[in-house]
């Protein structure tokens, strides 16, 4: 998907690719990715012309005027007069953590987090222990115990895919602890 910096840098003469659907008439495909040559942009909308010939839809043709929400852009193309902005590197979360099974499987949210001195990295490990320990709710942990499900040692990214509401804390120092506060809808740092 385009980075927000790329979307912000788009100008007339550039292009976006979006997914088009034809709901009536003869069609070979349910949807097609097609390019739009930007003529103007206004309040989150792209006004332009279809910049390729559809393969399987008979109601669209090259050069048709189209209006597409910028949020529907799946790719960008920049003209020689407007070079593509540099995209920041994408961070990956391969470092390991201990986490209750109930959090990883989505049976509860990450309720209590703390970061301790990493101690699980072993010689030859490709990814190191982050020191993060992530606990579920008391009820879900009790359910895990009743089902003989132990905490797991996995990539931070796997946990974040299930519950990323704590991502803003991920670079905090060793020794911190946080508890989810339902009223504040955020984590409260504990002493």
> Which residues are CB-contacts of 90 (< 8 A; sequence separation ≥ 6)?
none
pLDDT at res. 25: 80
- Is pTM beyond 0.75 here? no
Q: What's the confidence (pLDDT) of residue 22?
A: 85
Residue 98, pLDDT score: 96
Predicted confidence at residue 122, as pLDDT, reads 87
Q: Could you tell me the two tokens for 176?
A: 């911190």
DSSP E strands in the chain: the ranges are: 15-21, 31-42, 45-50, 65-69, 75-77, 96-99, 112-115, 129-135, 152-155, 177-181, 186-189
Residue 30, number of CB atoms within 10 A of its CB:
11
Q: Quick one: DSSP state of residue 24?
A: S
Q: Among 184, 165, 188, which Cα is nearest to 114's? A: 188
CA distance 55 to 39: 23
**pLDDT value of position 184:** 93
Which candidate, 91, 112, 92, places its Cα nearest to that of 102?
112
Cα-Cα-Cα-Cα torsion 53, 59, 60, 65, nearest 10 degrees, comes to 160
3-state helix, strand, coil in the chain (%, to 5): 15, 35, 50
d(CA 126, CA 123): 9
Q: Kindly give the pairing relationship between strand 186-189 and strand 177-181.
A: antiparallel
pLDDT, averaged per 10 consecutive residues of the chain (191 residues), comes to 92 96 80 95 97 88 96 96 90 95 96 95 92 97 97 96 95 97 95 88
Q: Which residues pair with 41 in a beta bridge?
A: 46
Contact assessment for residue 187 and residue 176, using Cβ atoms and an 8 Å cutoff: no
């Amino acid at each position: 998907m385009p980075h927000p910096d790329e979307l912000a840098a788009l100008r007339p003469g550039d292009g976006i690719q979006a997914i088009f659907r034809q709901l009536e008439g003869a069609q070979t495909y349910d949807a097609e990715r097609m390019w739009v040559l930007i003529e103007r942009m206004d309040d989150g909308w792209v006004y332009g012309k279809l910049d390729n010939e559809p393969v399987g839809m008979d109601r669209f043709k090259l050069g048709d005027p189209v209006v597409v929400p910028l949020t529907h852009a799946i790719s960008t193309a920049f003209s020689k007069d407007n070079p593509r902005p540099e995209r920041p590197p994408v961070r990956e979360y391969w470092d390991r953590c201990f986490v209750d099974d109930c959090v990883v499987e989505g049976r509860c949210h990450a309720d209590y987090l703390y970061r301790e001195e990493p101690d699980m990295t072993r010689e030859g490990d490709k990814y190191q222990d982050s020191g993060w320990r992530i606990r579920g709710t008391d009820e879900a942990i009790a359910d895990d115990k009743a089902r003989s499900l132990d905490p797991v040692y996995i990539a931070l990214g796997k946990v974040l895919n299930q519950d990323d509401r704590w991502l803003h804390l991920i670079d905090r120092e060793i020794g911190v602890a946080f508890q989810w506060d339902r009223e504040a809808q955020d984590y409260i740092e504990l002493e």
